Chains A and B, each alone.
Chain A
């Protein structure tokens, strides 16, 4: 991080490669999937211009995650002003796995961000709990508790919608 602050673009590239998935997960917990990659680039562009503001290298993950959260919030504010148009009827809604994934993602996004962030990083980006704690600058116990609580809340939200279980399971 010190090298990146000194102007080494390769060092900043290493930071980008290291934190890109976590930043994407943070944004994906708040923003639609179609704008996530653009917002990721915006976050790193802002970080590149302001990286000299970080005093301690240990604070960089939390600082970068905060930029991602702020960018996502700003996007929500801008999108609230826009007028939305309904999708054309010929587009299938739940036929493709991508649409099913988007529906599932919306359920996770409906959770509080404290739970949605670690859940998306774990379930979408495939990161482990320790990785999530390290990339977000959080304690592992805090992440573990939030993962557990978030999964519990998601299960409660999805179970009524799920089809009936096989008879052998339900006695």
Chain B
């Protein structure tokens, strides 16, 4: 009977208290769990570190990507022009012209025209700049490499008017192949003309004011050698032929 009463108190604290159980409870109470640990917040939920390294890394990568896209959006203009400058129109180029930044390069005549004010490609552009030449405004007095490179019509007179005074028909026939070579000289007119002994290169820049005696008979020779009238200035050349 006593056991049943003791069991109730031992079981859920109800019933008559058992002195033996009470003494045990009082003795062992100091070994109970610390109250601060019981009430304390759950330990696993610790705050994260204040410095979000992952977020910073992602942000830096995104910024780098945006900068790269901006840079690429500007570079396409450069890439678009390079294939036009390099193309097959100039297979014999030295390569120095393509690498230069300031030099427009002798590749495409369409692009070279506005920059080469002194080496006009078309006769309409050449006239005002060659006004001080001895042959007159419309007549290409000196051997101008720009004329050779632009078309077969303009090459003939200058090829025949070599500095040696010996007209070369073979070179006139090979004129389309030398377009590239003539364009080389266009791209770097000042340096190459001064260094080389080629009179074709010297003429446009260094000797523009110099009136050479040879240019006068030169326009006559090309008409003799070639039957085709120059397309660039048909009105001026036909009367000489006649």
Contact = CB atoms under 8 A, between A and B. Distances in A.
Nearest to B10: A147
Nearest to B18: A151
The winner among B7, B30, B44 for most chain A CB atoms within 10 A is: B44
Interface in B1-44: 3, 6-7, 10-13, 20-21, 24-25, 27-34, 37-38, 41-44
B24 to A, nearest CB: 5
Interface residues of B, number: 26
A140 to B, nearest CB: 9
Interface string A92-132: 00000110111011000000000000001011111011100
9 contacts: A13-B41, A20-B38, A101-B29, A104-B28, A126-B25, A129-B12, A147-B7, A148-B6, A151-B10
B45 A9 contact: yes
Interface residues of A, number: 38
Contacts, number: 84
B23 to A, nearest CB: 9
A148 B21 CA distance: 11
* Residues of B contacting A: mostly: helix
* Residues of A contacting B: mostly: helix
Contacts of B7: 144, 147-148
A101 B27 contact: yes
Interface in B120-173: none
Interface string A1-19: 0000000011011101100
B33 A20 contact: yes
Nearest to A128: B12
Contact of A9 (B3, B13, B30, B42): B42
Interface of B: 3, 6-7, 10-13, 20-21, 24-25, 27-34, 37-38, 41-45
B47 to A, nearest CB: 11
Contacts of B24: 104, 123, 154
B43 A129 contact: no
Nearest to B24: A123
Contacts of B34: 37
A106 to B, nearest CB: 11
B42 A123 contact: no
B10 A124 contact: no
A151 B27 CA distance: 15
A128 B42 contact: no
Contacts of B41: 13
B147 to A, nearest CB: 81
A107 to B, nearest CB: 10
Contacts of B43: 13, 16, 41, 44
Contacts of A128: 11-13
A101 B3 contact: no
A100 B20 CA distance: 15
A37 B25 CA distance: 20
A2 B102 CA distance: 72
Given A9-B42, A124-B28, 7 more contacts: A16-B44, A122-B10, A126-B29, A126-B32, A144-B7, A147-B10, A148-B10
B177 to A, nearest CB: 77
A24 interface: yes
A144 B42 CA distance: 31
